[in-house]
């Protein structure tokens, strides 16, 4: 090799936005957060790649797919021993009917719930709950640190950030609302429940700690939260012992406040996954103009694509623990069918005028999301995966890397 030869990055054109880029990083063929392998297509610029992360977040963290992913425990980029695939969007609560207490709960690997470290007041007395002494200590330490460092509660009410500062004078805590100032580091954040939530009336104010070890206060109104915090601060001046309801029945129903995700972004992400897989396995179509409306949809959410949710198809979704992407063709169109989490979720779209596959032929990409392995099958291999007389639900043996 000529020693003067430097590795020169070759300029490429991003298939999604048309800009020229040189960076070598590629875009995931199938998202890692859904159990995909580290398999990339090199036709996406960094800017588009970053934009896709936002779409994917909507799909596999915020939407109901996030719940499926959490249930199964599919890891993302940052493995976390306690929360293997935390479900970020909904508020999880448990209701103790006997004592009429709403608990803040969290979710661990495979949806096992635990009591978040929290303190609330019932009948003028304070109660501290947590799932272990360690997390109680973590909570207490965070609270002491907050008192020392800023003593500020922040809330976003009608798009306005409000700071409430708690200060001690003459052996007594009191609060004063402060004008908006620069960002406060690690304040207590105020949150609430929608008024029409059926547990709203049972919600007593509480201070708790979330997955990111941030202190939060939940109450029905900001004023209620302020009064609670002020009273609690004053109580801590002379009280070191708090009661507990530990042993409360956590088998009581878990309440989901609801999903809050952008359904267009959700669909854009799915179309992008389909396109990425198509381009990866059929590179000859990369420049085909038939893809343009779909790329337009991924980039701008423009309408005009044919597709949407589908009813579950037993035959196609018979391989457990896998995601499937089918490519089938008829009348010169390609149909892309994405089924995630063993067919519990099915999405499809049609790319018109893309005579990609032969008449009556189809291909399947099978992703084993537990083991991050995939296999790509042509029509013959796909048919062979359904031997005559086999049990439809029998796992496919020898799922191998391509």
Which residues make up the interface to Zn ion (CB under 5 A)? 14, 16-17, 45, 48
Pairing mode of beta strands 92-96, 254-256: antiparallel
Instruction: Give the residue with the Cβ less far from Zn ion, 16 or 30.
Output: 16
Beta bridge partners of 347: 309, 338
CB of 11 to Zn ion, least distance (A): 13
Q: Smallest gap, in angstroms, from Cβ of residue 30 to Zn ion?
A: 19
Closer residue to Zn ion in complex, CB, 45/152:
45
> CB 302 → Zn ion: shortest distance, Å?
16
| H helices, E strands: number in the chain | 7, 22
Q: Which is nearer to Zn ion, 16 or 87 (CB)?
A: 16
Give dist(CA 314, CA 392) in Å, integer.
9
The nearest distance, CB 136 to Zn ion, in angstroms, is: 49
Nearer to Zn ion, 44 or 340 (CB): 44
Q: 237: which residues sit within 8 A by CB, 6+ positions away?
A: 171, 172, 173
Residue 249 contacts by C-beta under 8 Å, 6 or more apart in sequence?
96, 98
Residues facing 376 on adjacent strands: 365
Closer Cβ to Zn ion, 113 or 285, answer by number: 285
In the complex with Zn ion, the residue whose CB is nearer, 48 or 209, is 48
CB of 47 to Zn ion, least distance (A): 5
> Least Å distance between CB 299 and Zn ion?
8
* Cα-Cα-Cα-Cα dihedral sign, residues 246, 249, 251, 252: negative
Residue whose CB is less far from Zn ion, 15 or 206: 15
What is the separation of C-alpha 122 from the centre of its chain, rounded to a whole number of angstroms? 34
Give the residues across from 249 on adjacent strands: none
Q: Which residues of 161-178 are buried (b: 16+ CB within 10 A; e: fewer)?
A: ebbbbbeeeeeebebeee
Contacts of 131 (CB under 8 A, 6+ apart): 114, 115
CB of 273 to Zn ion, least distance (A): 17
CA 146 remoteness from chain centre: 28
d(CA 100, CA 95): 7
**Are residues 83 and 108 in contact, defined by beta-carbon separation less than 8 angstroms?**
yes
Min dist CB 17 to Zn ion, Å, is 3
Closest to Zn ion by CB, 43 or 316? 43
């Amino acid at each position: 090799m000529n020693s003067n030869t430097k590795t020169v990055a070759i300029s490429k054109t991003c298939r999604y936005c048309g800009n020229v880029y040189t960076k070598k990083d590629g875009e995931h063929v199938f998202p890692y957060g859904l159990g995909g392998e580290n398999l990339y297509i090199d036709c996406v610029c960094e800017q588009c790649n970053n934009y896709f992360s936002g779409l994917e977040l909507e799909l596999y963290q915020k939407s109901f797919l996030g719940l499926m992913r959490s249930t199964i425990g599919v890891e993302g980029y940052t493995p976390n021993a306690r929360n293997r695939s935390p479900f970020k969007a909904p508020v999880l609560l448990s209701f103790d009917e006997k004592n009429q207490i709403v608990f803040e709960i969290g979710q661990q690997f495979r949806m096992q719930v635990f009591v978040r470290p929290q303190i609330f007041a019932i009948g003028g007395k304070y109660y501290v709950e947590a799932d272990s002494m360690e997390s109680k200590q973590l909570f207490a330490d965070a609270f002491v640190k907050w008192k020392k460092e800023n003593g500020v509660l922040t809330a976003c009410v009608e798009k306005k950030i409000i700071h409430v500062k708690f200060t001690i004078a003459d052996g007594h805590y009191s609060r004063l609302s402060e004008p908006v100032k620069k960002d406060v580091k690690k304040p207590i954040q105020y949150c609430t429940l929608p008024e029409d939530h059926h547990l709203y009336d049972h919600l007593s104010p509480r201070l708790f700690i979330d997955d990111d070890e941030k202190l939060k206060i939940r109450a029905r109104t900001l004023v209620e939260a302020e009064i609670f915090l002020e009273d609690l601060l004053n109580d801590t001046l002379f009280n070191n012992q708090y009661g507990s309801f530990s042993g409360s029945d956590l088998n009581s129903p878990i309440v989901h406040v609801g999903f809050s995700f952008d359904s267009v972004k959700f669909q854009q992400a799915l179309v992008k996954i389909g396109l990425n897989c198509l381009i990866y396995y059929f590179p000859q179509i990369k420049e085909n103009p038939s893809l343009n409306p779909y790329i337009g949809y991924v980039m701008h959410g423009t309408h005009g694509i044919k597709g949407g949710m589908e009813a579950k198809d037993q035959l196609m979704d018979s391989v457990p623990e896998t995601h499937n992407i089918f490519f089938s063709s008829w009348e010169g169109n390609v149909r892309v069918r994405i089924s995630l989490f063993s067919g519990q979720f099915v999405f499809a779209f049609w790319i018109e005028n893309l005579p990609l596959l032969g008449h009556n032929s189809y291909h399947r990409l099978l992703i084993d999301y537990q083991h991050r392995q995939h296999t790509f099958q042509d029509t013959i291999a796909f048919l062979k995966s359904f031997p005559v007389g086999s049990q439809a639900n029998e796992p496919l043996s020898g799922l191998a890397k391509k």
